[in-house]
Each structure stands twice: as structure tokens, then as C-alpha cells.
Amino acid sequence: MTKLYLIVAATVLASTTALLGSTPAGAQEIVVVSAPFERVGYADLDLSSSAGTARLEARIRRAAENVCIENYVKPIATAQLERNCFEAAVADGLSQAEPLIGAARAGRVLASANIIVRAK
């Protein structure tokens, strides 16, 4: 579910509540919406090699696409928002990968095996 759908879902929920009157007069319902995310595993990759780091980057890009971009015809403004989300998610994922790659190349054992790529 993308960011756009989460915002629409929250709006529909708020509108339904207003129409049905299920909250007391003057009360406001709080809806918490979190950005979608995807875990990117790298335990099976050799991050000390160029091939391993290239595969990790490809996984990060695929995850960013999954959480940011919907494949349907859309207005240009929506497509630009998705592109901005994608670029920010890739940049964040790659910034998480940098110290892991450095540690692997230095021969240090990595404590975690996932990067979290979030819609931005």
C-alpha cells in the first residue's frame, strides 16, 4: 500500500466517522498512518565483493520501487511525487548499506542482516 493510498484510507475513515456520527460531538478521532516499508535482506550476499554490493543496491532499488511507485496511468504531479519518494528511499537505503559494506570489506562480522527501505 503506498503513501497515497494510506492518506486516502485515513480520509475515508475520517469521512465515514463524520457521516455516521460514531464519535461524540466535538471529539476528534486520531488516525495514525505509517509509511510503508520493506525489509531488504543481505545475509546471503558477500558485501566485500563488487558483485555482492551491486546485488544489494539492486535489492534496495526494487524495494524502493515497491513502496513508492504504483503501476497505473496517473497525473504527472502524482508520478513526480512517486519519483521523489523513490529517490529518497533509495538514498536512505544506500546510506544504511555504506557502513555495512565498509565493515564487510574490513572483515568485521555484521550484527544485522536487513536494511529497512521506507517510503519518504
The residue ranges of every structural domain in the chain are: 1-34, 36-118
If one compares 116 and 30, the residue with the highest pLDDT of the two is 116
If one compares 81 and 10, the residue with the highest pLDDT of the two is 81
Span 86-93, mean pLDDT?
A: 96
Q: Are the C-beta atoms of residues 118 and 37 closer than 8 Å to each other?
A: yes
Distance, in Å, from the CA atom of 120 to the CA atom of 109, rounded to the nearest integer, reads: 30
- Helix, strand, coil percent content, the chain, rounded in steps of 5: 55, 10, 35
The CA–CA distances, whole Å, from 59 to 30, 66, 118 equal: 35, 10, 13
Residue 17 has pLDDT above 60, yes or no: no
pTM of the model: 0.70
pLDDT confidence tier of residue 67, bands split at 50, 70 and 90: very high
Residue 69 φ then ψ, to 5°: -115, 130
